[in-house]
């Protein structure tokens, strides 16, 4: 992976190779500016009026993961410098807000029933408003564009402008006026379901009994209210199934399960999330002032197939727009996971909204905060060893460290050394799939030596 380089005033220079970065650090010509992603700062050079090679930042916006690639434009295509995968947490945000609203509703009924109802107190959301979980996708993608343009002299942006045809995803032969006639044209949901499922319980086949509308994939497990996720069941089956997955519930009746799954359809939630954020993201990208190139999903796929590149979020980003050839894509990917900065609420609640315990008022203990990147050197005992990763702090001083190999629990704060303050993201490297097996060892070695370099960053940096 390329290493980002800043001049002594913090202005971006062309990224360099890992080897060159190591030499610069050894010869004391540079300082470590940031550990992950790795950024160094030269101590003896000012950018002045340098000429830079054209760098392009390419995005493949997705619902769960956005692929980002930093490439250098060459005469016959692009040379890949860095690959990133940014994992969003739209789902967690949505769940947290749903939970909060449920707790408030319970309190309203239980504790505040004599308070005068609130009335007309909702603000105007205005044009361009996005739900928080969608806004988050736009904001985090733009945050990383801003970071990367600060660390590298990016001169252009390329992004994929998805257009999912939701109706065609469901029914490939759709045309003309059918677009205006959704699944429910001329129906009510209940009527539609009665007819679709033959007026009997989908799970036991009971007829002539009151039927209830049932979620095939339960709502608590992420099932939606789409009509394709709904079925009919008798009261007894509905109660028995409860919040179980349909596969679990019908594990002993695979034939019936197959029938139900064949009638249900894959949810389109992810396509909907990308569809509703694509323009917001494009407008924000244009607001950076850099020229923005857009490419369609079809063109990306065509590029990928033509150049023989495997499907991955970050690699798809390299294939966005007009590219003739791509070199150097066989490199590790930095996975960036949006984790947030902890909870504002200091009370942990159980699923009924009652207090389960409280968090400490302060978030920082012994100079560390959950989310910081640390190196722990444990000299002896059963936990003896060196661990690098994201720390989760406790007031007792016994910390947990999330390493690449898993969580290590109960590490004393005295053994920990700070590498980088938490910034709301977790980082890990993914070794990329390669064509040639011999280059696999080389890249893995490179990733290892980089993490070794990171481990050596001192406290002052
Ligand atoms: Zn039944």
DSSP annotation string for 17-78: -HHHHHHHHHTTSEEEEETTTTEEEESS---TT-----EEEEEE--SSEEEEEEEEEETTEE
Q: Which residues contact 2 (CB under 8 A, 6 or more apart)?
A: 15, 16, 17, 18, 70, 81, 82
Q: How many whole angstroms from 218 Cα to the centroid of ligand 1?
A: 16
Low-confidence residues of the chain: pLDDT under 50: 435-461
Q: How many whole angstroms from 211 Cα to the centroid of ligand 1?
A: 8
| DSSP letters for 384-425 | -EEEEEEEE--TTSEEEEEETTEEEEEEEGGGEEEEE---SE
Q: How many whole angstroms from 186 Cα to the centroid of ligand 1?
A: 28
Q: What is the pLDDT of residue 383?
A: 93
Q: What is the pLDDT of residue 438?
A: 38
Q: How many whole angstroms from 266 Cα to the centroid of ligand 1?
A: 24
Q: Are strands 3-6 and 12-16 parallel, antiparallel or unpaired?
A: antiparallel
**What counts of helices (H) and strands (E) characterise the chain?**
12, 23
Q: How many whole angstroms from 229 Cα to the centroid of ligand 1?
A: 17
Q: How many whole angstroms from 198 Cα to the centroid of ligand 1?
A: 13
Give how far the C-alpha of residue 87 lies from the chain's centroid of Cα atoms, to the nearest Å: 2
Q: How many whole angstroms from 220 Cα to the centroid of ligand 1?
A: 21
Residue with tokens 């905060």: 369
Q: What is the pLDDT of residue 379?
A: 95
Q: How many whole angstroms from 193 Cα to the centroid of ligand 1?
A: 15
Q: How many whole angstroms from 457 Cα to the centroid of ligand 1?
A: 63
Check: pTM over 0.85? Answer yes or no. Answer: no
Q: Which residues contact 225 (CB under 8 A, 6 or more apart)?
A: 215, 219
Q: How many whole angstroms from 205 Cα to the centroid of ligand 1?
A: 6
Q: What is the pLDDT of residue 325?
A: 93
Q: How many whole angstroms from 216 Cα to the centroid of ligand 1?
A: 13
Q: How many whole angstroms from 250 Cα to the centroid of ligand 1?
A: 12
Q: How many whole angstroms from 219 Cα to the centroid of ligand 1?
A: 19
Q: What is the pLDDT of residue 187?
A: 67
Q: How many whole angstroms from 269 Cα to the centroid of ligand 1?
A: 29
CA 231 → CA 138, 192, 261, 268, distances in Å?
35, 10, 11, 18
Q: How many whole angstroms from 259 Cα to the centroid of ligand 1?
A: 15
Q: How many whole angstroms from 232 Cα to the centroid of ligand 1?
A: 9
| C-alpha distance across the termini of the chain, in Å | 21
The answer to whether residues 77 and 324 touch, using CB atoms and an 8 Å cutoff, is: yes
Q: How many whole angstroms from 189 Cα to the centroid of ligand 1?
A: 19
Q: How many whole angstroms from 235 Cα to the centroid of ligand 1?
A: 7
Q: How many whole angstroms from 408 Cα to the centroid of ligand 1?
A: 47
Q: How many whole angstroms from 188 Cα to the centroid of ligand 1?
A: 22
The residues placing their C-beta within 5 Å of ligand 1, an ion, are: 201, 203-204, 206, 234, 237
Q: Which residues contact 412 (CB under 8 A, 6 or more apart)?
A: 378, 397, 398, 399
Q: How many whole angstroms from 38 Cα to the centroid of ligand 1?
A: 58
Task: Return d(Cα 351, Cα 220) in angstroms, integer.
Answer: 12
Q: How many whole angstroms from 256 Cα to the centroid of ligand 1?
A: 12
Q: How many whole angstroms from 361 Cα to the centroid of ligand 1?
A: 50
Q: How many whole angstroms from 222 Cα to the centroid of ligand 1?
A: 23
The answer to whether residues 248 and 261 touch, using CB atoms and an 8 Å cutoff, is: no
């Amino acid at each position: 992976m390329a290493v980002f380089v800043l001049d002594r005033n913090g202005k971006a220079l062309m990224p360099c190779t890992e080897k060159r970065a190591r030499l610069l650090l050894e010869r004391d010509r540079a300082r470590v500016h940031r550990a992950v992603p790795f950024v160094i700062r030269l101590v003896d050079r000012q950018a002045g009026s340098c000429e830079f090679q054209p760098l392009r930042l390419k995005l493949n916006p997705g619902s769960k993961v956005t692929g980002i690639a930093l490439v250098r434009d060459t005469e016959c295509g692009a040379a890949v410098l860095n690959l990133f995968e940014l994992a969003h947490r739209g789902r967690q945000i949505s769940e947290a807000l749903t939970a909060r609203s449920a707790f408030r509703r319970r309190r309203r009924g239980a504790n505040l029933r004599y308070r005068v109802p609130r009335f007309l107190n909702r603000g105007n959301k205005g044009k361009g408003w996005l739900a928080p979980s969608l806004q988050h996708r736009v904001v985090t993608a733009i945050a990383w564009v801003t970071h990367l343009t600060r660390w590298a002299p990016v001169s252009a942006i390329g992004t994929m402008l998805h257009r999912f045809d939701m109706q065609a995803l469901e029914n490939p032969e759709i045309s003309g006026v059918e677009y205006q006639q959704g699944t429910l044209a001329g129906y009510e949901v209940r009527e539609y379901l009665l007819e679709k499922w033959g007026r009997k319980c989908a799970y036991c086949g009971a007829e002539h009994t009151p039927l209830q509308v049932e979620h095939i994939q339960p709502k608590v497990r992420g099932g939606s209210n789409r009509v394709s996720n709904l079925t009919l069941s008798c009261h007894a089956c509905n109660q028995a199934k409860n919040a179980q997955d349909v596969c679990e519930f019908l594990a002993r009746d695979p034939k019936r399960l197959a029938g139900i799954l064949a009638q249900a359809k894959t949810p389109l939630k992810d396509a909907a999330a990308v569809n509703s954020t694509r323009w917001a993201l494009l407008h924000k990208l244009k607001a950076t002032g850099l020229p923005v190139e857009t490419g369609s999903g079809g063109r990306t796929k065509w590029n990928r197939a033509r150049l023989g590149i495997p499907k991955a979020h970050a690699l798809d980003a390299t294939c966005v727009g007009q590219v003739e050839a791509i070199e150097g894509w066989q490199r590790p990917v930095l996975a960036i996971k949006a984790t947030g900065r902890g909870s504002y609420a200091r009370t942990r609640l159980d699923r009924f909204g009652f207090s389960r315990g409280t968090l400490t008022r302060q978030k920082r203990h012994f100079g560390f905060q959950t989310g910081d990147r640390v190196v722990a050197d444990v000299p002896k005992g059963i936990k003896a060893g060196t661990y690098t990763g994201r720390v989760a702090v406790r007031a007792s001083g016994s910390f947990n460290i999330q390493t690449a190999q898993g969580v290590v629990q109960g590490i004393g704060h005295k053994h920990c050394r700070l590498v980088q303050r938490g910034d709301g993201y977790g980082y890990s490297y993914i070794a990329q799939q390669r064509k040639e097996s011999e280059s696999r060892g080389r890249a893995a070695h490179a990733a290892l030596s980089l993490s070794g370099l990171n481990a050596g960053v001192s406290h002052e940096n």
